[in-house]
Structure 1
Amino acid sequence: MRTIAICGNNVKNIIASPSFVQSLQMNGVRVNCGLIHTQAIKFDPSHPEYQDHVLIKIKGFSCNYRDKTLILQTATAGVDNRFNAVGSDWVAEVVDFGSNVTDLQRGDRIINNNAYPDSGVKGLFEGVPTNHGSKEYRVLHRAKLMKIPPQMPDEVAAAFSIGAQTTYSMIRRLTLSQGENVLVTAAKSNTSLFAIQGLQKHNVNVYASTTSRKFEQELLDMGVKKVVLIDPNSPKLMSEETIASLKQEITGFDGIIDPFFDVHCDKLIPALNVWGRYITCGLYNQYSHLTGEEFNSIGLTPSTMVNMMINNIQIMGNCIGLTSDLEDAIADYVSGKLKVNIDSVFTGNQVAEFFERTYNAKDRFGKVVYCYD
């Protein structure tokens, strides 16, 4: 059994070929990574413990922003002789299953169902099934799996679940009306790319904010009406010129989708119209305590709170989504209504290259996937 792993400093000295360890720098931290071979796991489909479970073989996986903290934790505080599998999105095929599983067949392809806040099964934990999606063989409860259609290739499936399920939940909860103006922040982030694509079928005007115009044409080609340049270090985020240009088109935004509330929230709430809705699914400052980098998180100021009350603004937090959100996203992908940006695919011994591209490449645009050969 193979595992793409983040490794302690001594792992390279206690493994043998074909296992290997490589290294890269991530936010000033040395990260050891590699492909580790271990013994196969055991699965007895007749055992009562496994009657609702499925043995799966991972074909490919990808890492999200949330995985970076877990990677840096292992790199800075892990045990020298240990390694940790990584990855929270993946595609796999069914190898075997317990007696209560009647709707899957061997060879079916599945992805992770991260349904939250209810897994759909009493006593079964909600949310992401595993933070170790690169471990080649896994045993998971049937409810944590979603069968995918043949129209979805492995590289898309391995990059799909969390981004699609989260953004479809946020779009659903914004209750958008035709013609409304929606701002998506951090336009190049994977979450925002999913949101921009997912918004296209709702007949709304999509604006996207970013710190660079490097991918402006790509965003416009995806259906963004206007790319808004921002400076996170500016008190207003946007320049006076940018604000004046926006005011020529719209009075404000009816909705904002923001993956990083600690960067944007306080400064963007005043840009919402009366009855505006702001929704966020995460924070940027997840790992500065591990790297020693300085970061000033932005809280809601009293003036922003007053603005919210006067204008009847809603602020919503969002954690992943429902099973139906993932089902809707898959259906839209099959019908061509949802496109998925895949930046690149790595395989074989390209482990350090995979992590380098995922987290360090400034020209990355979309998800980076590793597939087992």
Structure 2
Amino acid sequence: MRALGVLSPSLAAKLENEDKYILEIDSLKIPLALIHIPDTEFDENDDQQANIVLVKKKGFSLNYRDFGIIENAWNKLKNTDQDTYYPIGSEFCGEVLKIGKNVENLRVGDFVIANCSYPLAPLGAPAGIPSNHGSKELEMFHKGKLIKVPENIPVEQASGISIGIQTAMSMIRKADIKEGNKILVTSITSNTSLIILNYLKDKKCDIYGLSYSGKDTNKVKTMFPFIKTIYNFKDNNLPKDLLFDAVLDPFADTHLVALQPNLNFEARYVTCGMFNQSSEKIRSKESYVNFPSFIGRLISKNIQIKANCLGTTEDLEQGLKILSEDPNSIIPVDEAFSKEEDINLFLDKSFLKTKKTGKVSFIYS
């Protein structure tokens, strides 16, 4: 089977330059490659695998969280003298190949994606993202960590929606949006925000966008014409008198402090992550704030900060239902790659070295 992996130095040295990809994270240069590895063995009659499902991946994608996973993997591999690797990938779509004796919620032949339900998971499964190895062509999962994907959702799209839908639906729920509210969605071209916008379109409220650089916002405005205005964070052009009742923000370390003056009394600020994923950036003094002063301003306006990690099974089910049944539902896929020789192009777009709007998937052919 195949997998996209972080390579140990000795294994990377055995590959030609064109067969590997060097990812630069701060001062690190980390080798990645699509490699062939031994198949995963699965015995459907084994009592120890009674609740387990073997999935053959049809496609996978990478997320922003993979930066941190890749760095951690490299820190463990860089000093070894063995030919070894760490498979990566946060999301996937696959076909059920085999099931254990106690699996009743899925059948062989079903197409499935990850159920990242958190903090609880169904059927006695562990909570959270089921795998950091989503690119492994064959992988075993607990039956509660998978959910059947509707047939009319294409593999190219299904390969990169689990985390996004579960997160977006949960953030919108926690934002407690009311009719007439002013809503701001930050990092408007990010994958999470594009999915959030898709599920905001039927809300009876005023929706605004914020882009860090101001680039490629016309595409977003075309896809989601209900957005009233998209502002530019770097230009600091948010009107001082524009106050938001709710903010949906994928990158709190970039926006939270700066947006505080534009938060209305009793506003809800929902965030699901940070932009600075690498250890060097996290330790940087540039990320420090005057905490007492900042908290004091939030208290004075009764601001609610809601941290969000993933979402519930119900969030994912509802999001998939809308995506499947609403012809106007838009979760964009920028490009899908399927040739092994195109893996570096896939990685360039995944890691934002080339422009994209939406998810990028790699399809196993």
On whether the aligned pair clears a TM of 0.5, the verdict is: yes
Please tell me the residue identity of whatever aligns with 1:125. P
Separation (CA, whole Å) in 2 of partners of 1:198 and 1:345: 23
Corresponding pairs, count: 356
Deviation per residue, 1:307-358 (Å, 9 max, x gap): 3222221111100000000001101101225311111111222222211111
Separation (CA, whole Å) in 2 of partners of 1:366 and 1:300: 35
> Of residues 274, 281, 304 in structure 2, which corresponds to 1:314?
304
Deviation per residue, 1:99-152 (Å, 9 max, x gap): 111232221100000000011244x32100000000111111110001011110
Separation (CA, whole Å) in 1 of partners of 2:147 and 2:114: 6
Which runs of structure 2 are paired with 1:300-339 in the superposition (5 Å)?
A: 301-336=291-326, 338-339=329-330
Please tell me the residue identity of whatever aligns with 1:34. A
- Is 1:158 the counterpart of 2:149? The answer is no
Please tell me the residue identity of whatever aligns with 1:284. F
Separation (CA, whole Å) in 1 of partners of 2:290 and 2:310: 23
1:273 CA displacement: 1.0
- In the alignment, what sits opposite 1:234? none
Separation (CA, whole Å) in 2 of partners of 1:300 and 1:184: 25
- In the alignment, what sits opposite 1:259? 250
8 A contact 1:86–1:132 mirrored in 2: yes
Cα root mean square deviation, aligned: 2.2
- Quick check: 70-79 or 140-149, which moved more? 70-79
8 A contact 1:23–1:30 mirrored in 2: no
Separation (CA, whole Å) in 1 of partners of 2:62 and 2:279: 19
- Is 1:355 the counterpart of 2:327? The answer is no
- Quick check: 144-153 or 294-303, which moved more? 294-303
1:361 and 1:203, CA in 2 relative to 1: closer, same or farther beyond 3 A? farther
- In the alignment, what sits opposite 1:198? 199
- Is 1:5 the counterpart of 2:15? The answer is no
Which runs of structure 2 are paired with 1:1-373 in the superposition (5 Å)?
A: 1-12=1-12, 21-27=19-25, 29-75=28-74, 77-78=76-77, 79=80, 81-122=83-124, 124-221=125-222, 222=224, 223-231=226-234, 238-239=236-237, 242-243=238-239, 247=241, 251-289=242-280, 296-299=286-289, 301-336=291-326, 338-347=329-338, 348-373=340-365
Please tell me the residue identity of whatever aligns with 2:353. A
Detail structure 1 runs of 4+ shifted over 4 Å in the superposition: 12-15, 291-295
Separation (CA, whole Å) in 2 of partners of 1:243 and 1:33: 44
- Residue 114 of structure 1 aligns to a residue whose secondary structure is coil
8 A contact 1:266–1:301 mirrored in 2: no
Separation (CA, whole Å) in 2 of partners of 1:3 and 1:365: 25
- Quick check: 125-134 or 328-337, which moved more? 328-337
8 A contact 2:123–2:143 mirrored in 1: no
Separation (CA, whole Å) in 1 of partners of 2:147 and 2:282: 39
Please tell me the residue identity of whatever aligns with 2:259. L
8 A contact 2:88–2:133 mirrored in 1: yes
8 A contact 2:92–2:113 mirrored in 1: yes
1:300 and 1:131, CA in 2 relative to 1: closer, same or farther beyond 3 A? farther
8 A contact 2:211–2:232 mirrored in 1: yes
1:103 and 1:25, CA in 2 relative to 1: closer, same or farther beyond 3 A? closer
8 A contact 2:96–2:107 mirrored in 1: yes
Gaps of 5+ in 1: 232-236
- Residue 202 of structure 1 aligns to a residue whose secondary structure is coil
Please tell me the residue identity of whatever aligns with 2:167. T
Separation (CA, whole Å) in 1 of partners of 2:323 and 2:288: 36
1:174 CA displacement: 0.9
Separation (CA, whole Å) in 2 of partners of 1:93 and 1:186: 33
1:23 and 1:343, CA in 2 relative to 1: closer, same or farther beyond 3 A? same
Separation (CA, whole Å) in 2 of partners of 1:75 and 1:283: 21
- Residue 350 of structure 1 aligns to a residue whose secondary structure is helix
8 A contact 1:7–1:74 mirrored in 2: no
1:85 CA displacement: 0.8
1:72 CA displacement: 2.8
8 A contact 1:12–1:21 mirrored in 2: no
- Quick check: 292-301 or 321-330, which moved more? 292-301
Separation (CA, whole Å) in 2 of partners of 1:314 and 1:25: 38
Counting aligned pairs with the same residue, the percent is 32
Please tell me the residue identity of whatever aligns with 1:103. N
Gaps of 5+ in 2: none
Deviation per residue, 1:188-215 (Å, 9 max, x gap): 2111111122211222221111122221
